[in-house]
C-alpha cells in the first residue's frame, strides 16, 4: 500500500475501513464503464464538456457530467473552470492502442469474465471448485477458445496487466547463457520478445495453442524479432518443444490444479537436457501475514482458472513432486519472482542444488495448513 494510503487507512476506524472495502467494487464499475464508453479516446483530440460527450455517446448530459466529475475525482480526467474535461495521466493509460494501454485489461478484469465468477466466490471456497465453470459451463481456456474476440482481448490483458514485468524479468536473470529460450504458454510472445531484445545471444521458441499464437507474428514483427523467434503450436499437456536451454512458464503454473501442473512440469522435465533450466515466473507469496497483491490474485486463481499462487516452500514441494529441484528464487523489480529449477536427477552433481530447501524453508506438505508461528 502506498505510504499516503497506509497513513489514511491507519487514521480510519476499523468500521470505516470495512465500509470502504465493501464499496470497492464501485471503483471497478466506474473504470469498466469509462473503458466501455471509450471516454479517454473521446478526449484525445481536445477537452470536451459533458454535454458534447453526451451528444456523441447518446447519454443523459447531467448524468454523464456527474460520472465525468467522479472520474476526475479518481484522477482519470481534469475538469477546468468552463467544465471541459481533459485527459489526466490515468486517463491516458485507458486510451486504446497506445503503448502500455490497459483498456483491454480493464474490460477483461472488470468485465463479466471475472465479475460473474467473483459473485460465486463462496461456491469456490465451499467446494474448492472453479466458480468460472459453474457460471460459464466450461473451463476458462476452453471458453476463450470458443470466443475469438475475448481470447484476443485476454492476450492483450496479459500484456497490459503485466506492464513493466517482462522488462524486469529480462534484466533480473542472465538469459545470455542460453542458446534457446522456449516460452511455454507464451501467448503472443510479449515476455519472450522482452528477453530477446535484452539478450542478443539466444533464439526463442514461442509455444502456445494454435488459436492463441495467431496474434503473435504482429507483436514479434513490431519488436523486430521475426528472425529470432520460431512459433510452435500444441498443448503443454501433450508435450513441449524439446532441447531448449531455458524453459519459461510465465503465469502458467498458477492457472491449474496440482495434477495439471504436474503434467505440464513433467512434460517440461522430459524435454529438458542436462544443461537446461526451468524458470517459473509467478508471484511468490510471502509466508505469514505480510500484505501482498498475490494474495488477492490467489483468490482470483481459485475462482477463475482453478489454480493457486504459492509460497517458496509450496513451489519447492510442487517441483519435487514433478521430479524437479528448486535451485533459487530470483527477485525482480516487479511483482513476480523467477523460480529456477533443474531436473532432480542432477541433484548430486549440480553445485547450485539447495539440498533440503523445501524443509529448510519451513512449513511443508499438509503441515503447511497447520497453525504457524511465523507472524
Q: Which positions are catalytic?
A: 254
* Cβ contact 268:248 at 8 Å: no
CB atoms within 10 A of CB 326: 24
| Residue 327, C-beta contacts closer than 8 angstroms, at least 6 positions apart | 340, 341, 342, 350, 352, 353, 354
Distance CA 334, CA 163 (A): 9
Q: Least Å distance between CB 345 and ligand SAM?
A: 25
Q: What is the DSSP letter of 286?
A: P
Distance CA 54, CA 64 (A): 7
Q: Which is nearer to ligand SAM, 252 or 358 (CB)?
A: 252
**Torsion, CA 92, CA 98, CA 100, CA 103, rounded to 10:** 70
Q: Which is nearer to ligand SAM, 263 or 344 (CB)?
A: 263
| Residue 182, C-beta contacts closer than 8 angstroms, at least 6 positions apart | 204, 205, 207, 240, 241, 244, 246, 247, 248, 271
Q: Least Å distance between CB 151 and ligand SAM?
A: 8
Q: Which helix (H) or strand (E) holds 343?
A: strand 337-343
Nearest CA among 264, 258, 360 for reference residue 306: 258
What residues make contact with ligand SAM under the rule CB under 6 A? Answer: 141, 158, 162, 185-187, 190-191, 208-209, 212, 235-237, 250-252, 255
Nearest CA among 104, 32, 107, 34 for reference residue 69: 34
Q: Least Å distance between CB 95 and ligand SAM?
A: 21
CB atoms within 10 A of CB 205: 22
Question: What sections of 200-289 are H helices per DSSP?
Answer: 210-213, 216-222, 258-271
| Residue 369, C-beta contacts closer than 8 angstroms, at least 6 positions apart | none
Q: Which is nearer to ligand SAM, 42 or 214 (CB)?
A: 214
* Cβ contact 349:179 at 8 Å: no
| Residue 4, C-beta contacts closer than 8 angstroms, at least 6 positions apart | none
CB atoms within 10 A of CB 112: 15
Q: Which is nearer to ligand SAM, 84 or 198 (CB)?
A: 198
Amino acid at each position: 500500500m502506498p505510504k499516503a494510503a497506509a497513513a489514511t487507512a491507519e487514521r480510519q476506524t476499523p468500521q470505516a475501513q470495512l465500509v470502504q472495502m465493501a464499496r470497492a467494487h464501485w471503483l471497478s464499475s466506474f473504470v469498466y464503464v469509462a473503458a466501455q464508453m471509450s471516454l479517454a479516446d473521446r478526449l484525445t483530440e481536445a477537452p470536451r464538456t459533458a454535454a458534447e460527450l453526451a451528444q456523441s455517446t447518446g447519454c443523459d448530459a447531467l448524468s454523464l457530467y456527474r460520472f465525468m466529475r467522479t472520474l476526475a475525482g479518481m484522477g482519470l480526467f481534469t475538469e477546468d473552470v468552463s467544465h471541459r474535461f481533459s485527459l489526466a495521466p490515468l486517463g491516458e493509460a485507458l486510451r486504446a492502442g497506445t503503448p502500455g494501454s490497459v483498456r483491454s485489461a480493464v474490460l477483461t478484469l472488470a468485465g463479466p469474465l471475472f465479475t460473474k465468477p467473483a459473485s460465486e466466490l463462496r461456491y469456490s471456497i465451499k467446494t474448492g471448485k472453479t466458480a468460472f465453470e459453474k457460471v460459464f459451463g466450461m473451463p476458462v481456456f476452453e471458453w476463450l477458445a470458443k470466443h475469438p474476440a475475448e481470447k484476443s482481448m485476454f492476450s492483450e490483458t496479459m500484456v497490459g496487466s503485466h506492464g513493466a514485468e517482462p522488462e524486469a524479468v529480462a534484466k533480473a536473470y542472465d538469459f545470455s547463457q542460453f542458446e534457446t529460450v522456449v516460452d511455454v504458454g507464451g501467448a503472443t510472445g510479449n515476455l519472450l520478445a522482452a528477453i530477446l531484445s535484452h539478450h542478443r545471444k539466444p533464439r526463442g521458441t514461442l509455444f502456445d495453442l494454435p488459436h492463441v499464437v495467431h496474434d503473435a507474428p504482429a507483436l514479434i514483427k513490431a519488436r523486430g524479432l521475426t528472425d529470432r523467434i520460431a512459433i510452435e503450436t500444441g498443448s503443454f499437456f501433450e508435450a513441449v518443444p524439446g532441447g531448449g536451454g531455458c524453459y519459461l512458464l510465465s503465469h502458467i503454473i498458477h492457472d491449474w490444479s496440482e495434477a495439471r501442473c504436474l503434467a505440464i512440469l513433467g512434460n517440461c522435465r522430459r524435454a529438458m537436457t542436462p544443461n537446461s533450466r526451468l524458470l517459473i515466473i509467478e508471484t511468490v507469496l510471502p509466508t505469514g501475514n505480510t500484505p501482498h497483491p498475490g494474495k488477492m490474485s490467489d483468490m482470483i486463481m481459485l475462482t477463475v482458472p482453478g489454480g493457486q499462487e504459492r509460497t517458496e516452500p509450496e513451489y519447492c514441494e510442487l517441483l519435487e513432486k514433478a521430479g524437479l529441484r528448486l535451485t533459487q528464487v530470483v527477485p525482480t523489480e516487479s511483482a513476480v519472482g523467477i523460480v529456477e529449477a533443474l531436473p532432480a536427477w542432477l541433484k548430486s552433481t549440480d553445485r547450485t542444488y539447495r539440498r533440503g530447501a523445501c524443509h529448510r524453508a519451513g512449513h511443508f506438505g499438509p503441515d503447511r495448513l497447520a497453525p504457524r508461528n511465523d507472524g
